[in-house]
Structure 1
């Protein structure tokens, strides 16, 4: 590091999915993460030898690190979100340039259809384009084939909620309260206060449920605003389908 710095360069250390190293101890019970961050602080704040970028898909984990370590006054949180609509529209209008796809093009209506079901989820849309390559005909994707492929993804998202909730009524109530708050695009713990007041959850039990669903990638948690979102538009649709079916059975 010192040799590189003397050449006028500043190294950048990137560690992704850091939560995989949580709860690891060594040498008499010292926590690995704590020792790592002591080293990072020494290399950055004290010695100015490099920058360190830590990434995690678990917002609760990032918040715990930020609050419990020496990072509060020595670091900055960055949010990595889904792409905005204008980027998705540009991408899907330029498949040859951006994805090397020449077998088909999408109509503006089909691009809107993809956006409505997947939002800015890059991975899901990339995978979707791969499925379209299997069903395209004469330089286009037949609408009925597109709807069939998309429906399979949405049904899979619905099944996630069904498998998780099972016959547990408290989880049905939980997802119902979450769904009521999604019109604004996110929800907070305070939006779920009725679940505590009615005795469905204790405060600690509710936070444990939220934490577990963040770790399972049902929800995304933004620690800077204490806000939750579902993990993508397909999960929003899947949740709505699941609750609609539950209500139909109860009726």
Structure 2
């Protein structure tokens, strides 16, 4: 199997490295359209860091977290071999083995103690702070939470997300112990975060978008695409990395590029049309006219500004048809393919 190599993220990489060069002071939210390469970017950066950085990567993608125990399961990497009295002793014992870890290491005995004290969720944050404080004597700790919105509705006495925000503020702005990156493809979650008063002046935002025109053509050229084929892919797919990889794999397997991108657009159009099936079957409480009215915004424009998000726009964002950028108050289709599908549907309405 031919591996598709990492491509064209120098601007974002340099911005992240610039953040890491300074003392931790802000939470950084990494956001962008779905499948734009946010997770791939963070993994690429983490793997290329010098040895004086310790990365703790927590991936919530696909995890169903309903309460305290599930939260602990995804947060920690349980060490069944060691038994230590506290976080500092444990951190000292494993210092030489740190580099890039999936979760925050914890000895089994301390993890079981946390499970027994469900009402003391603050013990979790106390452990992590003590652990990070000890680790910071030798390394620069980096905490990456991928798909943070998964825990948006989880309650442990109160909404867990607010406890996490407060803790992240403490790790960065107050104690300067660790860099914190929160990754999310849920633009409504980011929109909520952007309006959150407690985070004002305590966080920053880094957009990871699809590739631009030149980046897309350069990427495709590496795999032997002709100029005409590059143009055809850009016309139908734009710079969405996951679509480009699909077309590259199709070409490698001898398929015609034009036929593949046309088929991909047909499939995406059918998926969006299924919304109208749901409306007809009364599975959703949105009217066809309301959907078409929003689609008409993109008849001639690829992106529009919004004054407020109404019920229909929010519905289409949740269905991954539209993407909201709260930092510019703009809304647009999730991809060029979505834009073409929307225009086709709007034209036939």
What is the rounded CA distance, in whole Å, between the counterparts of 1:21 and 1:232 in structure 2?
A: 26
Q: Is the 8 A contact 1:19 1:61 kept in 2?
A: yes
Unaligned runs of 5+ in 1: 96-104, 137-144, 191-202, 247-251
Q: Is the 8 A contact 1:118 1:234 kept in 2?
A: yes
Q: Is the 8 A contact 2:304 2:332 kept in 1?
A: yes
Q: Which residue matches 2:185?
A: 57
Q: Is the 8 A contact 1:178 1:187 kept in 2?
A: no
What is the rounded CA distance, in whole Å, between the counterparts of 1:212 and 1:24 in structure 2?
A: 22
Q: Is the 8 A contact 1:34 1:69 kept in 2?
A: no
What is the rounded CA distance, in whole Å, between the counterparts of 1:182 and 1:238 in structure 2?
A: 11
Q: Which residue matches 1:223?
A: 326
Q: 2:266 aligns with which of 155, 169, 178?
A: 155
Q: 1:214 aligns with which of 313, 317, 329?
A: 317
Q: Quick check: 1:25 aligned with 2:155?
A: yes
Distance 1:174 1:215, change over 3 A: closer
**What's the offset of the Cα at 1:18?**
1.1
What is the rounded CA distance, in whole Å, between the counterparts of 2:197 and 2:148 in structure 1?
A: 14
Q: Quick check: 1:237 aligned with 2:348?
A: no
Q: Is the 8 A contact 1:157 1:239 kept in 2?
A: no
Q: 1:5 aligns with which of 96, 116, 136?
A: 136
Q: Is the 8 A contact 2:237 2:261 kept in 1?
A: no
Compare 177-186 and 230-239 and name the one that shifted more.
177-186
Q: Is the 8 A contact 2:302 2:339 kept in 1?
A: no
Q: Which residue matches 1:196?
A: none
TM-score, normalising length: structure 1: 0.77
- RCO higher in 1 or 2 (8 Å CA, sep ≥ 6)? 2
**What's the offset of the Cα at 1:65?**
2.0
The structure in which a higher percent of residues are strand is 2
The structure in which a higher percent of residues are helix is 1
What is the rounded CA distance, in whole Å, between the counterparts of 2:324 and 2:227 in structure 1?
A: 32
SS at match of 1:135: coil
Q: Which residue matches 1:174?
A: 291
Q: Is the 8 A contact 2:247 2:257 kept in 1?
A: no
SS at match of 1:153: helix
What CA deviation, in whole Å up to 9, does each residue of 1:49-108 have, x standing for no partner? 01111111122211212322521111112211111111111111112xxxxxxxxx2210
Q: Is the 8 A contact 2:136 2:177 kept in 1?
A: yes
Q: 1:16 aligns with which of 142, 146, 152?
A: 146
CA-based RMSD of the aligned residues comes to: 2.1
What is the rounded CA distance, in whole Å, between the counterparts of 1:219 and 1:75 in structure 2?
A: 25
Aligned length: 212
Q: 2:244 aligns with which of 120, 125, 135?
A: 125
**What's the offset of the Cα at 1:36?**
1.1
Distance 1:172 1:148, change over 3 A: farther
What CA deviation, in whole Å up to 9, does each residue of 1:172-208 have, x standing for no partner? 4533443344533212335xxxxxxxxxxxx8xx612
**What's the offset of the Cα at 1:147?**
2.1
Q: Quick check: 1:87 aligned with 2:215?
A: yes
SS at match of 2:273: helix
Q: Is the 8 A contact 1:65 1:71 kept in 2?
A: yes
Q: Is the 8 A contact 1:158 1:235 kept in 2?
A: yes
Unaligned runs of 5+ in 2: 1-131, 281-285
What is the rounded CA distance, in whole Å, between the counterparts of 2:254 and 2:261 in structure 1?
A: 12
